[in-house]
Amino acid sequence: MQRLFTTLRKDGVDPKLVQLIRTIVAASKDIAFRVRQGELAGVLGSTLDENIQGETQKALDVIANTLIKNLLLEEDVVRAIASEEEDSSIAANPTGEYLVAFDPLDGSSNIDINGQIGTIFTILPARDDVPADSELQFAQPGRNQVAAGYVLYGPSTILVLTTGGPTRAYTLDTTHGSFMLTTDALTIKPDTQEFAANMANTRFWGENFTRYIEDLLLGETGPRQKRFNMRWNAAMVGDVHRVLCRGGVFMYPSDSRDPKQPAKLRLLYEGNPMAMLVENAGGKAYTETTPILDIQPTSLHQRVPMLIGSANEVDACLSYLNT
Ligand code: F6P
C-alpha cells in the first residue's frame, strides 16, 4: 500500500503544492485525534458566538478553524486563506503561490451526536493582478482549482483528494499516522437508485424540483420505473462520500425559506471542491442550470444550489428543472 506522499510524487505534483497538502493533512490528523477523544478532549458543545453565516459556532468549529488557519499562515507557499468561520480572507506571504479556502468542520450538527463530520478544502493559484489581502484573490471559477479534497472523520479517517487527475481515497493508519492509498480512482456509476435531500424543505422547493422528487418517490409505479432509496447524513461530506463510493445523487436545491438566501451551501469551500472531486470521479456537479465549476464567484461566502453525483441522475433532475 502506498503512502499519500509517494502517490503525489508519482503523480508529478508540484513539490510546493505537496508541501501545502502536507500542512492541511497535519492539521486534519490533529482534528481527527480530538474528534476521536470527543467529550474527553472537551471539544463538544457550542460557543456563545455566531460565524459570518449567522450560525452558532460549535467548540470544534473554532478549534478546527484555529488549527488549520495557524498552520497555513506559517507556510511560505500560501498567499491568502479563506475560511467558512472567518468574515474576510486573510493575507499570508505576499509572494506565496497558492490560496487555500476551507470549511474547517462540515456537518457541525453531527459533532455532539458522534456522527460523521469532515474538513473540506480547495487550493487555487494566487493572482498577481490583485493584492494578497484582497478578497478578489478568491474570485476565480472552480475550474482553476489545482487540488480539492476532504477529510472525513468517521469510523475511519479518510482523505479524498484530487490534484487534477483521478479522485483518490486514502485511509489514516493510526498505528503510524500516515494516510495510505486505499482507492486508486473512485468512480461514480452513471445510474443510481439512491438520493440525498433534506425532505423537511419540501414545502419551500420550486414546483419543478418538487415534481422530480415526487416521481422518485413513486418508484417503480411512477414515470421513473425504478425504486429509489433516500439517505440524509446532515453532513454533506458524509453524503458526498457515499455518492463517491456507491453512486447516488446529493441535492441541496434553492428554496424559499429566506428570500435573502435562496441557497444553503457555499460555492468557494463546499460547492467547488466537491464538484471537482465528483467530476474527476466521472460524476456531474450542477447548480440548477450550470456546472458548478464554471461559476464566476461574486463574493467570498456566496451560496449556490447543488445537484451532484451520478451523471444520468443529475441529467434527469436537470430535465425536470428546465422544462
Ligand atoms: O452547512 C453545511 C451543512 O452542514 C452540510 O454539511 C449539510 O448537507 C447541510 O448543511 C445540512 O443542512 P440541513 O440543515 O438542511 O440538514
CA–CA separation, 176 and 12 (whole Å)? 25
Q: Is the pLDDT of residue 6 over 90?
A: yes
Residue finishing a domain among 156, 183, 210: 183
pTM beyond cutoff 0.85: yes
High-pLDDT (> 90) share of the chain, %: 90
236 CA → ligand 1 middle, Å: 6
In short, whether 152's Cβ falls inside 6 Å of ligand 1 is no
Residue 274 in contact with ligand 1 by CB distance below 6 A: no
Q: Do strands 157-162 and 147-153 pair parallel, antiparallel, or not at all (unpaired)?
A: antiparallel
The reply to whether ligand 1 has any atom less than 6 angstroms from the CB of 55 is: no
pLDDT the model gives residue 52: 72
Query: Are 132 and 225 in a shared domain?
Result: no
Say what the pLDDT of residue 279 is.
99
* 48 pLDDT above the threshold of 80: no
Cβ(198) – ligand 1 distance below 6 Å: yes
Q: What value does the mean pLDDT take over residues 93-113?
A: 96
Pocket probe for ligand 1: among 198, 199, 251, 261, the residue whose CB has the most ligand atoms within 8 Å is 198
Grid coordinates in use for 29?
Answer: 490528523
Model pLDDT for residues 209-222, shown as the tens digit of each residue = 999 999 999 999 99
State whether the Cα torsion 273-240-162-116 is positive or negative.
positive
DSSP-derived letter for residue 201 is: G
According to the model, what pLDDT value does residue 266 have?
Answer: 97
**What are the beta bridge partners of residue 194?**
229
CA of 119 to the centre of ligand 1 (A): 14
Query: Residue 23 belongs to a domain with what CATH number?
Result: 3.30.540.10
Average pLDDT in the 53-78 region?
91
Q: What is the mean pLDDT of the chain?
A: 96
Final residue of a domain: which of 183, 218, 249? 183
Q: Tell which wins on pLDDT, 54 or 78.
A: 78
pLDDT (average), residues 241-254: 98
Quick one: 191 exposed, middle or buried, by C-beta within 10 A (0-12, 13-18, 19+)?
Answer: exposed
CA-to-CA distance for 257 and 198, rounded, in angstroms? 13
> Do 32 and 120 fall within a single domain?
yes
179-198: average pLDDT: 98
Of 109, 232, 267, the one to substitute when testing ligand 1's pocket (max ligand atoms within 8 A of C-beta) is: 109
pLDDT at 44 over 90: no
Q: What's the domain count of the chain?
A: 2
pLDDT for position 161: 99
Secondary structure E strands in the chain: 46-50, 56-58, 78-83, 90-91, 98-106, 117-125, 147-153, 157-162, 168-173, 178-183, 194-196, 229-230, 249-252, 265-266, 284-286, 303-304, 306-309
How far is the C-alpha of 259 from the C-alpha of 264, rounded, in Å?
A: 12
Distance 97 CA to ligand 1 centre (A): 32
Ligand 1 atom at minimal distance to the Cα of residue 200 = 15
Structure-block grid coordinates of residue 197 = 435531500
Is 47 a residue whose pLDDT tops 80? no
Structural domain boundaries, residue 203 = 194-321
* Residue 155 confidence class, pLDDT cut points 50, 70, 90: very high
pLDDT at residue 304, as a whole number:
98
The mean per-residue pLDDT over the stretch 149-173 comes to 98
What's the gap in Å between 19 CA and the centre of ligand 1? 31
Which residue among 137, 161, 183 closes a domain? 183
CB 102 within 8 A of CB 85: no
Ligand 1 within 6 A of CB of 234: yes
What's the 234 CA to ligand 1 centre distance in angstroms? 5
Mark whether 179 and 245 lie in a shared domain. Answer: no
Q: Above 70 in pLDDT, residue 183? A: yes
Domain assignment present for 51: yes
235: Cβ below 6 Å to ligand 1? Answer: yes
Site to probe by mutation for ligand 1, drawn from 251, 252, 308 as the one with most ligand atoms within 8 Å of Cβ, is 252
| Any domain includes 207 | yes
